[in-house]
């Protein structure tokens, strides 16, 4: 009896988590151009509309934004995500190595400070970054988005790599040094391959969070640098149409592909 109750609880738990996401995917194929919540047939037209293909949808049923604006926001998001994830991975990994390998008095306090950006409310961090950039006279641009996102994404990479370093057997490094390897050789041939799954996981996490960030980016984007989440937010303010569900479904698919690639490389390294 207890086993059945636990099974039912587990089923309801996953339904609670994934049912809203499933609804977004289902309604992205809804042919109803007036009320998204009333199913009137299956269609690929919303996806065809996104990719600029010919459809039977009238212009009044879609958002006023053109496909060019959507593509521009995707390019901006990808530029920001690639830049911030690379910067965050380099600095986050270096910080994690420094805290793990060197003993200094304020190491615990330093580690706590690295956690703060992760728990800080997005609206507070976004406002703080906006005030900071204005104070130093920096115009809001693509550069401020990259700098702003990197400030908190470094923390995610730091935590991911630190967890990997905690499991790393340092006696391997000592054996490498005893055999005559220089510190640089030990790092390149022993340490780096050992913590590579953590670095890859941190990079993927930073990339996905950057692609999804809305609140902080909204504060520091300025004009002319619209990312995909800000573009979607602007569309939502004019009502929810199936077209936006199609964009959300494509974003979900993209995220799943990135995660699958990460898991694939991680499984190959573990063999």
For 219-244, the pLDDT digits (tens) are 998 788 889 999 888 888 777 777 78
Taking only the tens place, the pLDDT of each residue in 187-205 is 888 889 888 888 988 999 9
**Distance of alpha carbon 30 from alpha carbon 244, whole angstroms:** 12
**Angstrom distance (rounded) from CA 83 to CA 76:** 11
Q: Burial code of 67-81, b = ≥16 C-beta within 10 A, e = fewer?
A: eeebebbbebbeebb
pLDDT reading at 270 higher than 60: no
Strand, coil or helix: what is 196? helix
CB atoms within 10 A of CB 98: 12
Residue 197 near residue 269 (C-beta atoms within 8 A):
yes
Q: Is 31 exposed, middle or buried (0-12, 13-18, 19+ CB in 10 A)?
A: middle
State the distance between the two ends of the chain, measured CA to CA, in whole angstroms: 40
CB 71 within 8 A of CB 78: no
Strand partners, 30: 42
- Whether residue 50 is predicted with pLDDT greater than 90 in this model: the reply is no
Q: Against a cut of 0.85, is the pTM above it?
A: no
Q: What is the pLDDT of residue 246?
A: 87
The backbone torsions φ and ψ at residue 79, rounded to the nearest 5 degrees and listed phi first, read -60, -45
pLDDT tier for residue 58 given thresholds of 50, 70 and 90: low
What are the structure tokens assigned to 158, written together?
Answer: 């730091």
For the ranges 29-33, 75-79, 90-94, 115-119, the lowest mean pLDDT is seen at: 29-33
- Rounded Cα distance between 9 and 18, Å, is 14
Q: Which is nearest to 155 in space by CA: 134, 125, 132, 127?
A: 125
Q: Report whether 200 contacts 88 (CB < 8 A).
A: no
d(CA 105, CA 203): 29
């Amino acid at each position: 009896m207890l086993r059945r109750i636990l099974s039912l609880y587990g089923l309801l738990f996953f339904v609670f988590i994934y049912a809203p996401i499933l609804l977004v995917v289902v309604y992205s194929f809804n042919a109803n151009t007036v009320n998204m919540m009333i199913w009137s047939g299956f269609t690929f037209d919303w996806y065809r509309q996104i990719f600029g293909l010919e459809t039977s949808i009238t212009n009044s049923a879609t958002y006023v934004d053109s496909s060019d604006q959507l593509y521009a926001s995707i390019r901006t998001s990808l530029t920001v995500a690639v830049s911030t994830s690379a910067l965050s991975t380099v600095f986050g990994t270096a910080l994690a190595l420094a805290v793990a390998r060197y003993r200094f008095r304020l190491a615990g306090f330093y580690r706590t400070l690295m956690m703060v950006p992760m728990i800080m409310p997005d609206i507070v961090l976004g406002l703080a970054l906006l005030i900071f950039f204005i104070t130093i006279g920096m115009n809001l641009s693509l550069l401020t988005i990259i700098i702003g996102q990197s400030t908190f994404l470094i923390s995610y990479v730091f935590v991911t790599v630190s967890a990997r370093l905690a499991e790393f057997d340092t006696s391997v490094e000592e054996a490498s040094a005893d055999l005559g390897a220089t510190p640089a050789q030990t790092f390149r041939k022993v340490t780096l391959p050992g913590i590579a799954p953590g670095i890859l996981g941190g990079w993927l996490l930073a990339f996905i969070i950057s692609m999804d960030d809305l609140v902080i980016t909204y504060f520091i984007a300025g004009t002319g640098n619209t990312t995909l989440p800000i573009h979607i937010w602007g569309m939502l303010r004019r009502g929810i149409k199936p077209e936006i569900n199609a964009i959300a479904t494509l974003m979900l698919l993209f995220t799943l592909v990135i995660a699958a690639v990460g898991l694939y490389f991680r499984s190959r390294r573990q063999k």
